[in-house]
Structure 1
Amino acid sequence: MTAPPFSPPRPSAEELQALRETVARVAAARGPVLPFGVGPIDHLLNAGGLDGAGLHEVAAASASWSDDAATTLFAAGIAARFAAAPEVSALWALTRFDLYAPGLEQAGLGPERVLYAQGKNDRELLALCEDALRDGSLACVVAEVKAADQTATRRLQLAASEGGTPMLLYRRYRRYGQCPLTDLSLACTRWRIGSLASTPLSMPGVGRGRWSVELVRQRGGPPFSLELEACDDQGRLALPAATRDRAVATGSADLALGHAA
């Protein structure tokens, strides 16, 4: 005699609501969500922004200097907005100090908002970042590495969750033509940034930079790709003028600088 197939009982509406409330409480306890303030991005992100207690990865669309600069400034803009509160700083860790500080400041990450750390190699750097994340006193941790395996990203995600501190991992190119985001990772979001032609002006000069911003993967949500105007001096991205139907922005938004040559 064949037993009838097992069918689990369906939860009631009250049980489903209680489960949703529990999930919301857990998410709130892990840290704040940082919205981009750009409607299409926040709408497509599962949480409406970046998890403030999670690991996020960025990589350049190519190994070119222009894409590298765009990716650096993209990360700097996010770090600047996480560090917008008074008396908090972001930590930027790397193995070779080639950052161009005035370029970071144009993206909102001035010297009063950032601390720097340098490690001998990627392994030492990642261990340093774990300690910084667990400490919980930093607004954000940014690290530039060429190698971080799945175990390393798991440890970073756990440390970010424990310390309630966001982590931005900038994956640099190891091999020409091979995107660093092909490596396995437990990151909440993975971004690929490319440089585009700047916004045209009605007069001679260089307009506000434009980037190709691609969310390659996110937990619980779809990937997407957008063309956006580069960070302003507060770390904020914007939709291109033609998209939002307004005049072209001018002023201090020329962000052509990233890493020093």
Structure 2
Amino acid sequence: MAQVRANPVITELRERISHLESNPARRRQTLPFGVREIDDHLPGGGLSFGAIHEFAGGGAGTDALLAAGIAARTKGKVIWCLTRPDLFFPALAQAGLHPNRVVFVEAEKEEDVLASVEEALSFRGLGAVVAELVRLPMTASRRLQLAAEKSGSMGLVVRRWRRQTEASDFGQPTASTTRWRVSVMPSEELPVPGVGRARWFLELMRVKAGERAEFTVGACDAAGRIDLSTGFANGQDQAGRSVHSR
């Protein structure tokens, strides 16, 4: 029986793929939250570098604060692109991100924000690139995702709406690796009169190769970290499973 010769083109492609997969620089790294219940729901045990992550909030700036806390735990400068220069610097610092680490890029139009973010994501060595956007079309999100994959940078897209009617765009498909929604909850109670640590209801609405989940967490501390708050939210446990089904 005649021996079938291997296709040299296919052989070369397999060798290239094997080289890329074995190259440590090409392996996708992650940034863990440091909360097992959350990290267990994320492929690789954390937020992926070389990827885009989306955040939306309930109008109280919780989404921007969560993005700031995540960016604070990365290494290197942080690029923050926006159209409205209304960030409250002390709040960012309280979430762990000090302004001296941030380079703010202001643009008049969202198209210019997208262009700035794509260019920033192409640079290596940045901690994170944050974009404040009303809309994130699929084509634009793919461009950002590809730029992040090539450089290994992390992109954090904060969805900010001027009108409530624009919020429906958050449900449209994008190429983002994860999608989160952050809502305000009553602060933690203190044994004495006073204001306790802020709490958030954190919804993991979408994750590639993973499942949705919900968590009640303490807001970012001065190191940019969240922690799991005690108690259950909306009849579900901290992993997003119904407590009534067990």
Query: Shift of the alpha carbon at 1:71?
Result: 1.2
Indicate yes or no: 2:173 matched with 1:181. no
* 1:101 matched residue in structure 2: 89
Indicate yes or no: 2:143 matched with 1:155. yes
* 2:240 matched residue in structure 1: none
CA distance in 2: counterparts of 1:184 and 1:233, whole angstroms: 33
* 2:201 matched residue in structure 1: 212
4+ residue stretches of structure 1 with deviation over 4 A?
A: 21-28
Q: CA RMSD in A?
A: 2.0
Query: Shift of the alpha carbon at 1:45?
Result: 1.1
Q: Deviations over 1:209-229 (max 9, x none)?
A: 000000100000001011000
Query: Shift of the alpha carbon at 1:32?
Result: 2.0
Amino acid at match of 2:139: T
Identity %: 41
Q: Deviations over 1:133-188 (max 9, x none)?
A: 10213110001011220000000000001111000011122541534421220000
* 2:132 matched residue in structure 1: 144
Indicate yes or no: 2:224 matched with 1:235. yes
Pairs aligned (count): 214
* 2:111 matched residue in structure 1: 123
Amino acid at match of 1:105: A
CA distance in 1: counterparts of 2:186 and 2:25, whole angstroms: 39
Q: 2:54 aligns with which of 54, 57, 63?
A: 57
Give the structure-2-normalised TM-score: 0.81
* 1:17 matched residue in structure 2: none
| 8 Å CA contact 1:181, 1:190 repeated in 2 | no
Give the structure-1-normalised TM-score: 0.77
User: After alignment, is 170-179 or 25-34 more displaced?
Assistant: 25-34
Cα distance change, pair 208–145 in 1 and its aligned pair in 2 (3 A): same
Unaligned runs of 5+ in 2: 1-17, 233-246
Unaligned runs of 5+ in 1: 1-20, 244-261
CA distance in 2: counterparts of 1:219 and 1:27, whole angstroms: 22
3-state SS in 2 of match to 1:154: helix
CA distance in 2: counterparts of 1:57 and 1:213, whole angstroms: 13
* 2:34 matched residue in structure 1: 37
Cα distance change, pair 25–44 in 1 and its aligned pair in 2 (3 A): farther
| 8 Å CA contact 1:174, 1:180 repeated in 2 | no
Q: Deviations over 1:15-72 (max 9, x none)?
A: xxxxxx9896479615421000001000111221011110100111x3x3x2xx2111
CA distance in 2: counterparts of 1:47 and 1:218, whole angstroms: 12
Amino acid at match of 2:29: P
Query: Shift of the alpha carbon at 1:127?
Result: 0.5
Amino acid at match of 1:81: R
